[in-house]
Amino acid sequence: MADQEKTSAPVTRRDFLRQGSRVAALTGLGGFAGLLVSKLKSETLVWQIDPAKCLRCGRCATECVLKPSAVKCVHAFALCGYCELCTGYFVPEPNELNTAAENQLCPVSAIKRRWIEDPYYEYTIDETLCIGCGKCVEGCHRFGNGSLFLQVRHNLCLNCNECSIARACPGDAFRRVPVSQPYLLKTSYSHG
Amino acid sequence: MTMRGRSFYALVLSGTAAVWNAAAEQRFPPPEFESGHQLPVTTVPPPRALWQEYADVAVLLLCLGLACYFVYRRRSRRSVLWLSIFSLIYFGFYRKGCICPIGAPQNIALGFFDPAYAVPLVVAVFFIAPLLVALFAGRTFCAGVCPHGALQDLLLIKPVKVPTWLETGLSVLPYIYLGTGVFFAAAGSAFVICRYDPFVPFFRLSGGLTMLTVGAGFIVVSMFVGRPYCRFLCPYGALLRLASLVSKWRVRITPDFCTKCRLCEESCPFGAIREPVPPPTNPMELAPDRRRLGLFLIALPALIAVFALIGNRVAAPAALVHPTVALAERYLDPAKPPPPKVPTPDSLALERADHDPASVLSEAARIKRRFSRAGWWFGGWVGLVIGVRLISLTSRPVRTDYEPDRGACFACGRCFMFCPNERVRLGLLSPSELPGTEPARTDTAPVASGDTGKPKTAT
Ligand code: SF4
Ligand code: SF4
Ligand code: SF4
Ligand code: SF4
C-alpha cells in the first residue's frame, strides 16, 4: 500500500495542479470576458472614406486586399452640374465630346453618359466595372462640382480589421464609422 | 524650400490640399430640368446584416460541438475530416477566412488600448468559445473547425518527421508571434497577424504578390510537414495549447486500455504521440534535473530583464510601421525630396503634413512613446516564453501508456484506427487476434466519454 502511494503520488500531484490551473484559467477567462463586455459596443464599426479628406491619389485602386478594389466611385446626382463637357468624364482636351473610349478619362469606361435635355448630360457609374482609381474624381474635383467621390462599398468590402488602404492613404481619409451609418456621402449643392 | 513655399506650390500645382476642397468645388449650379427629369438616388449597399454575423457564431458553436462529439464519442477520423472540409468551405472560402479567432487577440488588445475602438461582439465570441472548449476537451477547434488547419491538413500527403530539437526550438515561435501581434495592435493599432496571414489570400483568391508567394511556400511545406503554420506560428494555437495542457478530458489513442503494442507510435503526422515513461526507480536520478530547474528558475528574472531591454531598443524602429510616425519622420528628413511635377501619394501626404506640422509631430511623438513602453512588455514576454520553455524541459513526465501530448495534439483522430483495441471496439478485429501482453477482453462496447477522457494513473 505504501509502495503504491509513492509511485502514484507524482501523477496525482500533476492532476491536482492541472485541475487547479484549469479552474484558474476558467476564472481568468470569465473575468476577461467580463472586462471585455465593458469594451463591447453593440455597434460594429466599418471603414469609410471621408470625401472631404480624400486626395484622389489612386491608392484605393491598388491597396485594397480585393482586386478589383471594394472602393468605387459614387455620384452625388444632386450636386452634379450635368455638364456637357464633364471633366470627370472627358480627358483634358478631348477630340470630340462623344463616348469614344479615347476621349474618356476612365481607364475602364465605367462611366455611362446619357443625354437628358439640352445641354445636360447625366453621368452614372457602372460599379461592376469601376476599379476605384479616382481619376474621374480628380477631374470632377479640379474643374467641376466635386459630385463624383470615392466610397467603400459595403456589399464588397470585407471590413478588414485594419483596412490596408487606410494604412497607405496619404490623406488620412479612412476612418471607422458605425455600421448603422456606413456611408459618408456628399449630398447637394450648398452655396451660390 | 521653405514651408510656406511648399504649400504655395501645392496650391498652385494641384489644388489638392484638403482645406481648400470645399471652396474649390461646386462651380456650376445644378440645372433645373424642363423635362421634369428625376434625379437618380445614390445607392448605399449595406454591410453584412447583424443576423448574418450571428449566424456565423451559431455555425461556430455547432461545429465546435460536433467536433467534440466526433472526437470523443464517435472517435471517427472520417467524421472529423468531413467536418473540417465543411469548415474550410464555410469559414474559409465562403467567409474568406476573415471570421476567425487567429487574429482576434489583436482586436482584443486594441479594444483595451484604444478607447475609440469597440471590439465587435462576434469577434469576442470567436475568441472565447474555442478557448473555453479547449479547457474541457482540448484542441477540437483545430481538428474540425479552423479553416487554416483544415487546409493544411488536407494538403498533407507525405509527412516527414521534424527532429525533436527543432520542434522544441520552434515551438516558442507561436508565443513570440502572439506577443508581436498584441504589441503592434496595442501600440500602433496595426494588425500584423492578419496582414501576414499566409492562407487568407487563397481564401479570397486575391492578394499581394509577396503574400501569395509566402502562402504558396506554406502550402508546399504543408504537403510534407504536418500543419507547419499551426505548429510553428499560429498565435491562437499557442493559447489553445496552453488551455489544452490543463483540459478536463484529453484525446486518447485507445478507447479503453493500452497494450503498448506500439502500433500507433508513428501514426501522428504532427509528432504528438509520446511513449510511456516509467517513474524513476531511483529518486537520485532526478537530481540533475532538479539542479537544472533551480538554475533556470534563478536565471528567469535575468532573462526577462535582458529581453525587456532588447524589446525597448527595437521598439523605436518598429514604431515606423505607424503611418503617422513614418510621415513625421519623412517630414523631418532634411533631405526630403523636392515635390515632383505630378503629385504622388507620398508627396500628397507630405503636403498634408505641411498644413498642420505641429499636430502630426506631437501625434507621432505620442505613438513613439507608446511603442517604447510596449517594447518593455514585449521583450519581457519573449524572455518569459524562452525561460518557461527551458524550465519545462527539465520536468520529467510519467506516462504509463502511449498518449498524445496534451498541448501538441490537434485532436484530428488519425491515430485512433492504428490501435488494435479501437479495431476491436469497431468489430473490425476479434478480441482473440489482439497483439500485446494483456489478456484479451471481450466487452467491445464503447466506453463512456468521461471514462475515456480520464488519464490513467499508475498502478
Ligand atoms: S487612398 Fe485616400 S487619398 Fe487616395 S484615393 Fe483613396 S481615399 Fe483618396
Ligand atoms: S475613373 Fe476610376 S474611379 Fe472613376 S469610374 Fe472609372 S474606374 Fe471608377
Ligand atoms: S477594409 Fe479591406 S476590403 Fe474593405 S476597402 Fe479596406 S482593404 Fe478593401
Ligand atoms: S493551430 Fe491555429 S491555424 Fe492551426 S488549426 Fe489551430 S487555430 Fe487553426
pLDDT in tens, chain B (459 residues): 333 333 333 333 343 333 344 456 788 888 888 888 888 998 999 988 888 889 999 999 999 999 999 999 999 999 999 999 999 999 999 998 877 899 999 999 998 888 888 888 889 999 999 999 999 999 999 999 999 999 999 999 999 999 989 999 999 999 999 999 999 999 988 999 999 999 999 998 887 788 889 999 999 999 999 999 999 999 999 999 999 999 999 999 999 889 888 999 889 999 999 988 888 777 777 778 888 888 888 989 999 999 999 999 999 889 988 888 888 888 887 776 676 677 788 888 887 777 788 888 999 999 999 999 999 999 999 999 999 999 988 887 778 889 999 999 999 999 999 999 999 988 888 887 776 545 444 444 444 444 443 443 333
Taking the CA of residue B262 and the nearest CA in chain A, the distance in Å comes to: 23
Gyration radius from chain B CA atoms: 28
Q: How far apart are CA A158 and CA B110, in angstroms?
A: 19
Look over chain A and give the mean of its residue pLDDT values, rounded to a whole number. 87
Between chain A and chain B, how many beta carbons pairs sit less than 8 Å apart? 206
Residue with cell 476642397: B21
pLDDT of amino acid B6 = 37
A157 lines ligand 3 (CB under 6 A): yes
Residue with cell 467641376: A144
Q: Kindly list the residues from chain A whose CB atom is less than 8 angstroms away from the CB atom of residue B22.
A: 52
A165 lines ligand 3 (CB under 6 A): yes
pLDDT of amino acid B288 = 80
What confidence tens digit (pLDDT) does each residue in A74-104 have? 999 999 999 999 999 999 888 888 888 889 9
pLDDT of amino acid A165 = 95
Tell me if B40 sits within 8 A of A77, measured CB to CB: yes
pLDDT of amino acid A149 = 95
Model confidence band, residue A10 (pLDDT cutoffs 50, 70, 90): low
Residues in chain B: 459
For residue A60, pLDDT beyond 90: yes
pLDDT of amino acid B185 = 94
Task: For residue A80, give the chain B residue with the closest CA.
Answer: B30
Beta strand segments in chain A, E: 45-49, 71-75, 111-117, 120-125, 148-152, 174-178
Task: For residue B14, give the chain A residue with the closest CA.
Answer: A142
Paired sense of beta strands A174-178 and B273-274, if any: unpaired
pTM of the model: 0.86
CA B61: distance to chain centroid?
19
Cβ contact, residue pair B28, A21, below 8 Å: no
Q: How far apart are CA B437 and CA B459, in angstroms?
A: 16
Cβ contact, residue pair A53, B18, below 8 Å: yes
Q: Where are the domains of chain B?
A: 10-29+44-244, 305-335+343-398
pLDDT of amino acid B440 = 44
Cβ contact, residue pair B47, A182, below 8 Å: yes
Collapsed DSSP state (helix, strand, coil) of residue A121: strand
pLDDT of amino acid A6 = 43
For residue A1, pLDDT beyond 50: no
